[in-house]
């Protein structure tokens, strides 16, 4: 039965469990914050910390039958579980470690020090939650967190950071009065002390093993210069959250097997411009010196510019065109906690459409990128015209998307080229 997106919408409770050591129960409130009752839950299933996939289960009187959910998850992922365990795995055995052998086996003296850059604007509580999740990581090598306050209207972010982390040498506050997320991130990139620089949106809450997974991504191949993590939704309570995940599939677009991408892929004539394969700017990391050499994020793209987005699509492809590789690391999880209450949802979808074609326009204008894009036009044009092309396979069947949202998204795609040209011109003045 479709999940209605009006006043009668059906929220999904979001949670997770590990089949190797499941909890006795999951605490579920009877209703979403707006009072709509939970009848189903969407659970991220793991084995020893490694994500296996999503399971949708019934919620009855605020409870989930975890034994049934576990049995179904084991049956669905038996081959993957046995591979991760190194032998046929017995579900009735003793509890297992919740960090995989692969992650625990990484040599401590080879783990890179990591700088984490978080751009924020007028959202002090958001950024504080993001920082605290990063600092909770159990990571043996040095880390630092750089908070770049990007054109906030008051000093509340600076004051809150000083009050909560002023004595922590791992946390640095930087102010950039000119708006533009790419500009803010580049300020962080220039100030980063460590060989890997990761970038998070301020509404991301990273997983307990996020830093380990980022480090593993860079070890998957000697020429990996960018690692992108997954961004599953922390909430599917509101119609907007349901529709966003149905159309953008931040929690499922990579799949659950790690992939190392090169510039060319024989099996996909659109690669690397099938950007759903690896690009989520809310959770990505770069080899610091390589990214500095390439100029960092394009400051004519991204939130705070006329293009409003596209910087996260542009950057990994420039890494690939430079000869580096991009690793999509599903275990580098950053839970996406946005409630989409800052502006109308049609504006969100317009922005994503605008950013997509703005970044494509940039590549069409750049001599070093133009040829690769032109060769992909025959395959790319039909993809551009069909609208949403990164759907969550399950939610997109269950969540109806009103026609106006499709039209707003396509309108953004139509205006993206002009938006990029205006943004580029404004940056030169």
Alpha helices for 107-199 (secondary structure H): 124-135, 156-165, 181-191
- Determine the Cα–Cα distance for residues 330 and 353; give it in Å rounded to an integer: 25
Query: What CATH superfamily classification does 111-358 receive?
Result: Spore Coat Polysaccharide Biosynthesis Protein SpsA; Chain A (3.90.550.10)
Q: Is 206 exposed, middle or buried (0-12, 13-18, 19+ CB in 10 A)?
A: buried
Q: pLDDT per residue over 223-244, tens digit each?
A: 999 999 999 999 999 999 999 9
| Cα distance between residue 128 and residue 337, in whole Å | 13
Query: Is residue 118 within 8 Å of residue 131, measured between CB atoms?
Result: yes
DSSP states of 320-385 as a string?
HHTT-EEEEEEEEEEEE-----SS-HHHHHHHHHHHHHHHHHHHHH-HHHHHHHHHTHHHHHHHHH
Residues of the chain with pLDDT under 70: 1-8, 266, 429
Per DSSP, the three-state class of 264 is coil
Question: What's the distance, Cα to Cα, between the start and end of the chain in Å?
Answer: 54
Sequence spans of domains, the chain: 12-102, 111-358
Per-residue pLDDT at 68: 95
């Amino acid at each position: 039965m479709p999940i209605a997106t009006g006043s009668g919408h059906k929220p999904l409770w979001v949670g997770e469990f590990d089949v190797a050591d499941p909890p006795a129960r999951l605490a579920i409130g009877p209703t979403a914050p707006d009072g709509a009752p939970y009848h189903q839950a969407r659970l991220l299933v793991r084995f020893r910390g490694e994500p296996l996939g999503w399971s949708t289960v019934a919620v009855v009187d605020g409870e989930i039958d975890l034994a049934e959910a576990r049995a179904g998850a084991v049956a669905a992922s038996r081959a993957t579980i046995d591979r991760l365990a190194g032998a046929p795995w017995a579900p009735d055995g003793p509890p297992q470690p919740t960090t995989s052998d692969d992650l625990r086996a990484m040599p401590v003296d080879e783990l890179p020090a990591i700088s984490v850059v978080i751009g924020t604007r007028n959202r002090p509580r958001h950024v504080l939650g993001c920082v605290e999740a990063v600092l909770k990581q159990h990571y043996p090598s040095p880390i630092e967190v750089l908070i770049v306050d990007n054109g906030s209207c008051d000093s509340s972010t600076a004051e809150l950071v000083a009050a909560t982390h002023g004595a922590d040498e791992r946390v640095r506050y930087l102010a950039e009065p000119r708006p533009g997320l790419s500009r803010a991130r580049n300020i962080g990139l220039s100030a980063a002390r460590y060989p890997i620089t990761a970038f998070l949106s301020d509404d991301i809450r990273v997983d307990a093993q996020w830093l380990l997974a980022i480090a593993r991504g860079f070890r998957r191949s000697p020429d990996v210069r960018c690692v992108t993590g997954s961004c599953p939704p922390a909430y599917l309570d509101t119609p907007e959250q349901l529709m966003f995940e149905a159309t953008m599939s931040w929690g499922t677009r990579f799949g659950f097997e790690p992939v190392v991408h090169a510039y060319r892929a024989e099996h996909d004539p659109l690669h690397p411009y099938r950007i759903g394969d690896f690009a989520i700017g809310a959770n990505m990391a770069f080899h610091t010196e390589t990214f500095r050499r390439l100029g960092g994020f394009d400051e004519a793209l991204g939130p705070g510019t006329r293009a409003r987005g596209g910087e996260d699509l542009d950057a990994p492809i420039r890494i690939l065109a430079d000869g580096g590789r991009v690793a999509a690391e599903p275990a580098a999880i950053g839970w996406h906690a946005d409630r989409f209450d800052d502006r109308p949802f049609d504006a969100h979808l317009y922005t994503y459409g605008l950013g997509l074609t703005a970044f494509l326009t940039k590549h069409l204008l750049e001599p070093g990128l133009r040829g690769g894009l032109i060769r992909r036009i025959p395959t790319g044009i039909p993809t551009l015209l069909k609208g949403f092309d990164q759907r969550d396979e399950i939610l997109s069947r269950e969540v109806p998307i009103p026609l106006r949202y499709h039209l707003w998204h396509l309108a953004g795609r139509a205006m993206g080229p002009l938006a990029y040209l205006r943004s580029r011109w404004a940056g030169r003045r």
